[in-house]
Amino acid sequence: MPDKKPKNLLKTPLKVVNVGLDIFARDLARQGRPVVSVEWMPPAGGKPELARLLSKLGG
């Protein structure tokens, strides 16, 4: 098995892609770290009834 452990992860400057709450990205940005935040929100704005209908209607 080849060794897939990232050898240089902590030896080179980090470039971060944040998938989640914006506050994580903002904290890193405040520390001067380059970070890109993925624009994401739960399906149907997190409204369960609409999400349930969409699961049957497709799209």
Partner 1 sequence: MTDIIARIESANAETLRRLLGADPVLIDVVPAREALPGLKDRMILHAGPPIEWERMCGPMQGAVCGVAVFESWAKDLEEAEQMAAAGAFRFEPNHHHDCVGPMTGMTTVSQPLLVVENRAFGVRAMCAINEGLGKVMRFGGNDAEVRDRLAWIRDVLGPALGAALRELGGVALKPLIARGLSMGDEMHQRNIACSSLLLRILAPALARTVGDAGALATILDFIGKNDQFFLNVAMAMGKSITMPAEGISHSSIVTVMCRNGTDFGVRVSGLGEQWFTAPVEMPEGLYFPGYSEADANPDMGDSAIVEVIGLGGFAMGAAPAVVGFVGAGPASRAADFTRSMAEICIGHNPEWTIPAMDYAGAPTGIDIRRVVDTGIAPTINTGIAHRKPGVGQVGAGVVKAPLASFEQALVAFAAEMGVT
Residues that bind partner 1 in the complex, under the rule CB under 8 A = 41, 43-45, 47, 50, 53-54, 56-59
Smallest distance, partner 1 to C-beta of residue 7, A: 36
**C-beta closer to partner 1: residue 34 or 43:** 43
| 29-38 per-residue burial string, b: 16 or more CB within 10 A, e: under 16 | beeeeebebe
**C-beta closer to partner 1: residue 17 or 57:** 57
**C-beta closer to partner 1: residue 14 or 19:** 19
